[in-house]
Structure 1
Amino acid sequence: MTTNKNTSHKPRARELGLPFTGVTGPHNAITDVANVAVGLHSVCEDAPRPGRPLPVRTGVTTIVPHPQADIPVPVFAGVHRFNGNGEMTGTHWIEDGGYFLGPIAITNTHSVGMAHHATIKWMLERYRSTYHGSRPRWIMPVIAETFDGILNDINALALTEADVRAALDKAATGPVAEGNTGGGTSMIAYGFKGGTGTSSRCLTIADRKYTLGVLVQANNGQRDWLTVCGVPVGRHMTDIAPGADMAERGSIIVIIATDIPMAPHQLQRLARRGTIGIGRNGTPGGNNSGDIFLAFSTANAEPLRDTPPALRCLEMVDNDQFDPIYMAVVDAVEEAVINAMLAAETMPGTIDGRLGIEAIPHDRLVKIMRDYSRLEISA
């Protein structure tokens, strides 16, 4: 089981001297955004179950807006699908209604149903006064997935209601454990071990300070595409076995959170810019990839009401202020993917001869970046 604290620290991108731009929050994580919490829970077994080909090695990641609220707080949101070979529930209503209610959960492809069921049950208990009153209410949480069936016995359907609830109950602010954690436990990125990654950026708009943060579940790309800060790193590491064949088989989920006040149509525009962020790492959005993005704002917070006002007043940033916000999204997404790969640990293969997936070697990466004069002098 994982927690929100790293148990064995590996240097992140900036600690290695990779020249990512922008000012980050204190944890360089999505939790730098006020009123955003993250929970992680992994389910890992040492050996395959009887008659099964792989061990169970999977998990779930939860992102909870307004985690201290006793009444559900709708958050304005926008979504974007770059390549649609994947799933994110609740997006039809986000596109029409402009908001979602409750947590986001990210897991493996075959556990979407369990995560959806467990999240609803958690909300029924967490917000008892709201959902057990005289007025019937529906719950439609956001559940997203990427495929971990190369390293995990995905057909064992091992994720349980208790596992999902554990991730929801553990949601906290502060540092976020990356790599082989939560829903990212067995994910693969660019032929190396991938998983959970995060980053943040600080901005000032009209003399007011804001934060934008992203969390990715990186399971996309193939080795020869991998680009780091403009350097074609993957082409220099083709000698390291990717474990699976070179073709892309995975997906990426990108969650963008901010406390900048935005309307739903603006958040949709923000979500689209996440595409450029993953493109910087080299992916063209492969045919087998589900590249799905969600952006939400914790601003304009107003708890769910039985009798909402007929007219609402909201604050929103002017469109002319968006260029630095777009750049912050692109930079943070690019960095979060690399953070996921740098934090990841090699996952061994199995006794039946299946190959494992290696973590990207830090020393090789640093040398390549130095050869291209793309390393900070202090590194």
Structure 2
Amino acid sequence: MPESGHRIRTGELPHGRRNSIADVSGVTVGHATVDRGDVHTGVTVVVPCEGPVIARRPVAAAHVLNGFGKTCGLVQVGELGCIETPIALTNTLCVGRVADGLVTNALREASSAGLPLPSTINPVVGETNDGRVSDIRARAVGESDVLAAIDSASADFARGSVGAGRGTVCFGLKGGIGSSSRLAGIGEKSYALGVLVQSNFGRMTDLVLGGKPVGSRIAEELAAPEAPERGSIMVVVATDAPLSSRQLGRVIRRATVGLVRCGSYMGHGSGDVFIGFTTANSMGSPVGSDGCLELRCLPEDRLDPLFRACAEATEEAVLDSLLAAEPMRGLDGTLYRSLGEFL
């Protein structure tokens, strides 16, 4: 699926070459889209590194802003501060099926690498409800789709109405998968921070673009009836900055700023969940002769550029998802337009 030709630049920090989460070296993204009959859904995976993730176990963190969601694996991420599988996004009723696919992938990766087969695996899955566009009760995403998404993962990936974003709706328009990145200068080094979102939240009249309340104008143009805030958003953050799990938690919480800038107020029915990881620290690193892992982290007073990077990249990733998405009709006949039609 082609990417949108539109981009809306937000904030003041520079972005990476791809302006996506793949500007963090080693990170790739893959999709599997399921389109048949009334089913328009899929799965998107963020692969954090090359080789078996369960062996490397990148340092990670998670934050739940509003917990109306059905994620998998966040309890252990919070407890141990790392991830053991790619991060998968899908629809609400397919979380279990996608988690099973991640387990299968972890076993096949360990086997291919000649590693002992693990007896415990923590699959990480996020979701939003795409039931307005897709027959969600069909539970159409399965293990083969997860494996296909992982096998197709690339640094150059489609955005918009693809994979887990195939059936999503955002601010009353067609939502989807969006991504953006920022480069944060700290001292003499520049660190990359990238964000990928699965957007499925917000009311049309609340949409803000570049500080301007454009949603009301679009709603008036479409004569759209006032609708309650519905849906959720998943935010995946990657960085190559050396951070501890606790510090990473501080950084990913700034995704909230990006959502607010877009006009979200995190309504009752919105699951707003953030998952982040760093490629600079690994819980699978060799243990030194003193029995300790060697992990590095920035001083606390140097994190401000990463806070800004997360806020700016989240805002732009949401707008990217709206611009890249193609119009689609919902199951009730409602046409969900693309933001690009109004620019």
- TM-score, length-scaled by structure 1: 0.85
Work out whether 1:91 is the aligned partner of 2:74. Answer: yes
Deviation (angstroms), 1:311: 1.6
Contact 1:124 1:131 in 2 (8 A): no
Contact 1:242 1:358 in 2 (8 A): no
AA matched with 2:143 = E
Contact 2:63 2:273 in 1 (8 A): yes
Work out whether 1:120 is the aligned partner of 2:103. Answer: yes
Contact 1:151 1:356 in 2 (8 A): no
Max radius of gyration: which structure? Answer: 1
- TM-score, length-scaled by structure 2: 0.93
Identify the residue that residue 281 of structure 1 maps to in structure 2.
262
Stretches of structure 2 that go unaligned for 5 or more consecutive residues are none
Contact 1:192 1:359 in 2 (8 A): yes
Runs of 4 or more, structure 1, over 3 Å off, are 68-71, 129-132, 240-245, 301-309
Contact 1:278 1:334 in 2 (8 A): yes
Contact 1:124 1:132 in 2 (8 A): no
**Candidates 27, 30, 34, aligned match of 2:21:** 30
Distance 1:82 1:150 in 2: 23
CA-atom RMSD, angstroms? 2.3
Deviations 1:256-302 (A, max 9, x none): 10000000110111121111111110011010000000111000246
Deviations 1:101-147 (A, max 9, x none): 121000000000010001100110011167963x7531011100000
Distance 1:216 1:270 in 2: 16
Contact 1:221 1:248 in 2 (8 A): yes
Distance 2:67 2:53 in 1: 35
1:30-179 aligned at under 5 Å gives the runs 30-45=21-36, 47=37, 55-68=38-51, 72-128=55-111, 133=116, 136-173=118-155, 175-179=156-160
AA matched with 1:23 = P
Distance 1:178 1:261 in 2: 28
Work out whether 1:8 is the aligned partner of 2:2. Answer: yes
Distance 1:275 1:338 in 2: 15
Deviation (angstroms), 1:22: 1.8
Q: Percent identity?
A: 36
Contact 2:31 2:45 in 1 (8 A): yes
AA matched with 1:12 = H
Higher relative strand content: 2
**Candidates 303, 306, 312, aligned match of 1:331:** 312
Contact 2:82 2:283 in 1 (8 A): no
Q: Cα 1:255–1:71, aligned 2, differ >3 Å: closer, same or farther?
A: closer
Identify the residue that residue 202 of structure 2 maps to in structure 1.
221
Distance 2:287 2:207 in 1: 50
SS of structure 1 residue aligned to 2:180:
strand
Identify the residue that residue 355 of structure 1 maps to in structure 2.
334
Contact 2:6 2:340 in 1 (8 A): no
Contact 1:102 1:141 in 2 (8 A): yes
Identify the residue that residue 239 of structure 1 maps to in structure 2.
220
Of 107-116 and 84-93, the range deviating more from structure 2 = 84-93
Work out whether 1:316 is the aligned partner of 2:297. Answer: yes
Stretches of structure 1 that go unaligned for 5 or more consecutive residues are 1-6, 48-54, 366-379
SS of structure 2 residue aligned to 1:280:
helix
